[in-house]
Amino acid sequence: MSNKIIDGKLISSEIREKVKKFGSQLKNKTGKVPGLAVVLVGENPASRVYVKNKIEKTIEVGFNSIEHKLSEKVSENELIDLVDKLNNDENVQGILVQLPLPEHVNSDKILDRIKPEKDVDGFHANNVGKLWSGLNSLVPCTPLGCSILIKKISKDLSGKHAVIIGRSNIVGKPMAALLLEMNATVTICHSRTKDLESVCKNADIIVAAVGIPEMVKSNWIKEGSIIIDVGINRIERDAKKILVGDVDYDDCLTKCSLITPVPGGVGPMTIACLLLNTLLASYPQFNQPTPDLSSILE
């Protein structure tokens, strides 16, 4: 493996081991085990695969997994009732509603119904506000995973220019808040950005979260830049179905200093961070002081 590759698979397995260790210490102290409830609506094949992985990894770290698989036809009110039930269930410390939800359901309404202290996806407006205010909060799992990978390289990004491509609530925006906390100068680009290529050429760090296969090419990047590729795109090449990121990996590998591969980069970090968030959410619910994230990860 090239020494330029940021091995998300390895780093995520180390995080899951730490979550397991801290979870077991919490159990020894309180007699309680963190529980993660996952709500899956409908038959979306990608969502089913994600949820299956999440459940497997939840059990692996010794947490309780509570699953609710609902029909595509579930009403908004039925979903709200389920979230209310999970909010009040003392065996549930984290609630994750797998997106996307069917069109007849207002996703924002459902996500905002989750108690902020059980919102392990970090999408509730209270948690979003806290993140942007620099307060302790549950942080969306994918950008949290990216920030942990970046912190492995450098904890302080003073004087560095970070460019994020994509402004979604799930990845781009929270990523900007996390990079600002690390003192980077941050630019957020999106579908209306003019001359994206020139903006990227000035970046010391690029976080690509777009959903366009291999969009970022080597002539877009600066020599020695760090590339975090969030994209997961299924394409067909040489009659084979493969996964590629938003960055043309082979093309950029020689020019960048470090890069996350797809698969095996950001993807596994997302699930590890979901478990990390479930652990963090459990301390206050078990009336225990929450340790610093850095003390769990060190």
Q: Return the range that interacts with ligand NAD (CB under 6 A); candidates 37-45, 124-132, 161-169, 279-287.
A: 161-169
Nearer to ligand NAD, 64 or 233 (CB): 233
Residue 275 interacts with ligand NAD (CB under 6 A): yes or no:
no
Q: Which is nearer to ligand NAD, 26 or 163 (CB)?
A: 163
Query: With 0-12 CB in 10 A as exposed, 13-18 as middle and 19+ as buried, what is 93?
Result: buried
Between 33 and 180, whose beta carbon lies closer to ligand NAD?
180
For ligand NAD, what does the binding mask look like between residues 72 and 91, x meaning CB under 6 A?
A: --------------------
69 vs 278: CA distance, rounded Å? 20
> What does the DSSP 8-state code read for residue 290?
P
Nearer to ligand NAD, 26 or 216 (CB): 216
174 belongs to the binding site for ligand NAD (CB under 6 A): no
User: Does 209 help bind ligand NAD (rule: CB under 6 A)?
Assistant: yes
Q: Give catalytic residues, as residue numbers.
A: 54, 98, 121
Q: Binding mask 92-131 vs ligand NAD (x if CB under 6 A, - otherwise)?
A: ----------------------------------------
Residue 223, Cβ density class (10 Å: 0-12 exposed, 13-18 middle, ≥19 buried) = exposed
Is there a contact between 225 and 256 (Cβ–Cβ < 8 Å)? yes
Residues 231-270 that bind ligand NAD (CB under 6 A): 231-233, 266-267, 270
State both tokens at 216: 């970022």
Q: Which residues contact 180 (CB under 8 A, 6 or more apart)?
A: 186
Sort residue 31 into left (φ over 0), alpha (ψ -120 to 50) or beta.
left
The CA-based diameter of the chain, rounded to the nearest angstrom, is: 56
Q: Candidates 10-18, 27-35, 67-75, 224-232: pick the segment binding ligand NAD (CB under 6 A).
A: 224-232
104-112, 154-162, 165-173, 280-288 -> range binding ligand NAD (CB under 6 A)? 165-173
Q: Using CA of residue 30, residue 117, residue 146, residue 159, what is the dihedral sign?
A: negative
Q: How many CB atoms lie within 10 A of CB 298?
A: 7
The one-letter amino acid code at 84 reads D
Q: Which two tokens stand for residue 84?
A: 């209310």
Q: By the criterion CB under 6 A, which residues form the site for ligand NAD?
A: 142, 165-168, 170-172, 189-191, 193, 196, 209-212, 230-233, 266-267, 270
